[in-house]
Amino acid sequence: MSFQNPVFIPGPTNMPEFLRRACDMSTIDHRSPVFGNILNPCLSGVRKVLKSDSASIFIFPSSGTGGWETALSNTLSAGDGVLAARNGMFSHRWIDMCQRHGLNVTVVETPWGQGLPADRYEEILKADTNHDIKVVLATHNETATGVRSDIAAVRRALDAAGHPALLFVDGVSSIASMDFRMDEWGVDVAVTGSQKGFMLPAGLAIVGFSEKAMNAVETATLPRTYFDVRDMGKGYDANAFPYTPPVGLMNGLKLSLDVLLDEGLDNVFARHHRIAEGVRRAVDAWGLELCAVSPDLYSDTVTAVRTPEGFNATDIVTRAASEYDMAFGVGLGEVAGKVFRIGHLGSLTDAMMLSGLATAEMVMVDLGLDIKLGSGVAAAQEFYRHGSDKAAKAAA
């Protein structure tokens, strides 16, 4: 067991000291106006990060999974149709949740490593002339496989079919790390959590509802109490929660939003892209393949690396922890033992990433993989370094 940081799991992510401290505060009366000074900046900051002008933002004491439940239980009724693709463990779990809620899910089985099949969505939606499908689910970044899907393409599929279904997007491992455009993509519910891009402990489910989703709240009949957005909204009108809010976490979120918006979202995304690209160059130098099947799908927050046939990828994660005090992610579900995952989102620098790559190399060499020490690190260094020729090129 190790308490060493940085970790290279795809969430929870490394917490900067100032955010940890922001979460650690003395008790306030959460029904006093002081709470509004924490709540309201959180709501407006999240709206900016989602790139929405008008979304209703709700923050629940929960993890991202509670955000999924908030989306479903507030907008749907038993037997409603849902269209979803299963291309990894996280999309699988959201489908499972739909089924346990008595929803009628049309599942498009998609090979793990591929993106969401927008063309299949379009065909299915076109054939659904009765409009039995009420919601299309889309996992923006499938954390199990390191695949980022094209949400704009899913929106185009809905529009091309002229279908009125709502579009719900799981952005838990993308929002605040990779570009997300709630309004432009016509997303009706966006779901995220505190422990990934926001660099906080787990404990907040963060959701945005479009006006269309808020209208669906009025007619939906699935049971909901704790996650009822109407109760939460009424609480917000009085600068409060319908129950006790996680004040410290929200104080952390307020500061996290300030820091992200100060850095500038485009700079945050560029930093994630640069770090991720260095990781991909390292993987290439090792002679290994990614789980994601094509470059358009490469995630900038997590890289799932395939190991050779007959090798148990989980051994890499186990040994990195036991011998080098470093945490990587195991393969989940269908790709368990076939991939290991390098998380690279949240609070991370190039230099921190190099330490992760160097450690992964030592572990793989220890385990007998045919990899040369330093090869991946060198490839990443070459990409990360600020050499004089690079500076000259940038200036030109």
Ligand X SMILES: *Cc1c(COP(=O)(O)O)cnc(C)c1O
- Beta-bridge partner residues of 374: none
Rounded distance between C-alpha atoms, residue 241 and residue 36, angstroms: 10
Least distance in angstroms from the C-beta of 140 to ligand X: 8
Residue with tokens 């996992």: 139
Angle at which helices 211-219 and 229-237 cross, to 10°? 120
Least distance in angstroms from the C-beta of 217 to ligand X: 22
Q: Which is nearer to ligand X, 63 or 74 (CB)?
A: 63
Least distance in angstroms from the C-beta of 144 to ligand X: 8
Contacts of 368 (CB under 8 A, 6+ apart): none
- CA distance between the termini of the chain: 50
Q: Which is nearer to ligand X, 161 or 207 (CB)?
A: 207
- Beta-bridge partner residues of 104: 81
Q: Which is nearer to ligand X, 202 or 222 (CB)?
A: 202
Are the CB atoms for 223 and 73 separated by under 8 Å?
Answer: yes
Rounded distance between C-alpha atoms, residue 49 and residue 259, angstroms: 12
Least distance in angstroms from the C-beta of 215 to ligand X: 25
Contacts of 227 (CB under 8 A, 6+ apart): 60, 62, 66, 69, 70, 73, 74
Contacts of 66 (CB under 8 A, 6+ apart): 60, 205, 227
Strand 147-148 to 189-193 pairing: unpaired
| Closest residue by beta carbon to ligand X | 64
Closest alpha carbon to 340 in 348, 351, 329, 354? 329
Least distance in angstroms from the C-beta of 231 to ligand X: 21
Least distance in angstroms from the C-beta of 14 to ligand X: 15
**According to DSSP H, which parts of the chain are helical?**
17-23, 36-49, 64-75, 89-100, 118-127, 151-161, 211-219, 229-237, 247-263, 265-286, 314-324, 350-366, 375-384, 388-395
Least distance in angstroms from the C-beta of 299 to ligand X: 10
Least distance in angstroms from the C-beta of 95 to ligand X: 12
Q: Enter the tokens of residue 312.
A: 């148990």
Q: Which is nearer to ligand X, 61 or 375 (CB)?
A: 61
Contacts of 167 (CB under 8 A, 6+ apart): 135, 136, 138, 151, 154, 155, 158, 185, 186, 187, 188, 189
Are the CB atoms for 227 and 66 separated by under 8 Å?
Answer: yes
Tally helices (H) and strands (E) across the chain. 14, 13
Q: Which is nearer to ligand X, 157 or 172 (CB)?
A: 172
Are the CB atoms for 94 and 71 separated by under 8 Å?
Answer: no
Least distance in angstroms from the C-beta of 71 to ligand X: 11
Least distance in angstroms from the C-beta of 312 to ligand X: 23
Q: What residues make contact with ligand X under the rule CB under 6 A? A: 11, 63-65, 90, 139, 141, 143, 170, 172-173, 193, 202
